[in-house]
Structure 1
Amino acid sequence: MLGSKQSAPAPTPVSFTVHQQSRTLEVAFDDGAVFSLPFELLRVYSPSAEVRGHGQGQETLQTGKRNVGLTALDPVGNYAVKPTFSDGHNSGIYTWAYLYQLGRDQVAMWEDYLRRLDDAGHGRDAGRDLSMTAKTAGGHGCA
């Protein structure tokens, strides 16, 4: 057809390797790309409504996910996987195109995540709210 542009299909994963010790998911694609995706990155950029919300500006900043683990990785048809994380989150469906995007753009996405954490006064560790740390630094917390 004249004037229509078809986009090439997204690369397809040919293998998944879960590395529990380094907390990464290695995904190799049929175009030769291999990405090592930290569990934390996968968790904080979950495509679920719980994380993304239902529209622009409804995203929920995920905090305290530095040590999140991956307890399961289940196939969803021939187009996605559904991970289960150690914090119980399991509602995100990661399409092949989204996994590829996470791998390709992970440096920029990571920097954006760290900036948003910093802007909100949060740290990457569970229970480490930098704004609360400043408020309780004087030793006036409950005992």
Structure 2
Amino acid sequence: MAETQLPTDITLHKQSKCLSLSYGDRQYRLSAEYLRVYSPSAEVRGHGPGQEVLQTGKENVGLDKIEPVGHYALKLFFDDGHDSGLYTWDYLYELAMHQESLWQDYLNRLEKAGYQRQ
């Protein structure tokens, strides 16, 4: 199994509604909207394959705060009241590394559902 990549720096940017994660000399800025629509919570992911719930209307969502959970995850508190997903270090790294393709996949799913982003 691959070794867990731990961020060397984590910064919450409330004004620009994003979370920046550094891994060594590489920095990634993940928007609150991106983090919210890819929440690992059952509310978003469902309880099994095919039960995912497409998140819409999250264009202006922000992050109120972040809290560490043990030594393995972050809990993100969004300003729309969502706070039930635990973002493990592995999951955050995956979101950072595959941001472009995951975001495009999300936009494609919105379009397929007939949803127009604001």
Alignment TM class, shorter chain as reference? over 0.9
Report the CA distance between 1:53 and its aligned residue. 0.2
Residues of 1 paired with 2:26 and 2:48: CA distance?
31
2:100 is the alignment partner of 1:107 = yes
Larger strand proportion of the pair: 2
Identify which of 28, 32, 54 aligns with 2:22: 28
Residues of 2 paired with 1:26 and 1:48: CA distance?
21
SS in 1 for 2:106: helix
5+ residue gaps in structure 2? Answer: none
Identify which of 7, 13, 17 aligns with 2:7: 13
Residues paired across the two proteins, number: 118
The residue type paired with residue 52 of structure 1 is R
8 Å Cα contact 2:10/2:20 also seen in 1 = yes
SS in 2 for 1:50: helix
Which residue number corresponds to residue 40 of structure 1?
Answer: 33
Which residue number corresponds to residue 67 of structure 1?
Answer: 60
Using CA pairs under 8 Å that are at least 6 residues apart, name the structure with larger relative contact order, 1 or 2. 2
Residues of 1 paired with 2:116 and 2:97: CA distance?
25
Q: Highest Rg: 1 or 2? A: 1
SS in 2 for 1:26: strand
Scaled by the length of structure 2, the TM-score of the pair is: 0.94
5+ residue gaps in structure 1? Answer: 1-6, 126-143
Q: Trace 1:83-102 onto structure 2 (pairs within 5 A).
A: 83-102=76-95
Q: Trace 1:114-125 onto structure 2 (pairs within 5 A).
A: 114-125=107-118
Report the CA distance between 1:22 and its aligned residue. 1.8
Report the CA distance between 1:112 and its aligned residue. 0.5
Identity %: 54
CA deviation digits over 1:24-72, x for unaligned, max 9? 100112x433211011000000000000001110000000101101011
- Which is further off, 104-113 or 11-20? 11-20
Residues of 1 paired with 2:108 and 2:26: CA distance?
27
8 Å Cα contact 1:63/1:123 also seen in 2 = no
